[in-house]
Amino acid sequence: MEHVTRTDPFSFSVDPSTGIVTPHDNLIQRRLSHMNGMFMDQAAREAMLEVEDTLLYEVYEVEVPDEAGHLMVCTSITYPGKVGREYFMTKGHFHEKIQTAEIYSCLRGQGIMMMESDRGDWKAEPMTQGRAVYVPPYYAHRSINTGQEPLISLCVYPGGAGHDYATIETKGFRKLVLEKNGKPEIEDNPKWKSRI
């Protein structure tokens, strides 16, 4: 795919049934092997990996200059499934410029946007078709698919925000979303470490 950075006005299309952006400049695919330490039940993860390195989520990016004044745009597609009792999810991240907000507009599916501030405050917002979630500055965020079809969102955030995955990889999220009696339930993460 030809590398393009757009600075002139342009348009693109988003297929709400698949999340595919046309044209897109970058496709990120995260598989189970990329999520080491992210799921509570590591034994279940290892057992799944012995069978298949399952695709958990994809991100289609439209590239514009990653600098102040521009808006970064992408779609996030989290597929249905579980590792043990824990629903498939994105890695989650803070922004490198932590004072940066983001909007997720759900195009399809059902899930939860888990958010956690740098001080450990947390909030879970439902994600359903037509519902948008505002992620304020200073909050890490993660999409969790609690449904039976892909969870697809259109995401917009300021250029230059950057992504901090390392904090989540080492400290985790304070809360987990696990299946209990056939329904999603929010539980404490026993491995969580305060960022402060």
pLDDT (0 to 100) of residue 8: 86
Q: Where are the alpha helices (DSSP H) in 32-185?
A: 42-51, 166-171
pLDDT (0 to 100) of residue 1: 45
Task: Quickly list DSSP for 142-194.
Answer: EEEE-SSS-EEEEEEEETT---B-HHHHHH--SEEEEEETTEEEEEE-TT---
The segments of the chain whose pLDDT lies below 50 read 1
Residue 196 lies in a domain: no
Residue 3 lies in a domain: no
Residue 172's domain comprises: 13-188
CATH number at 41 reads 2.60.120.10
Domains of the chain: total: 1
Residue 8 lies in a domain: no
Residue 193 lies in a domain: no
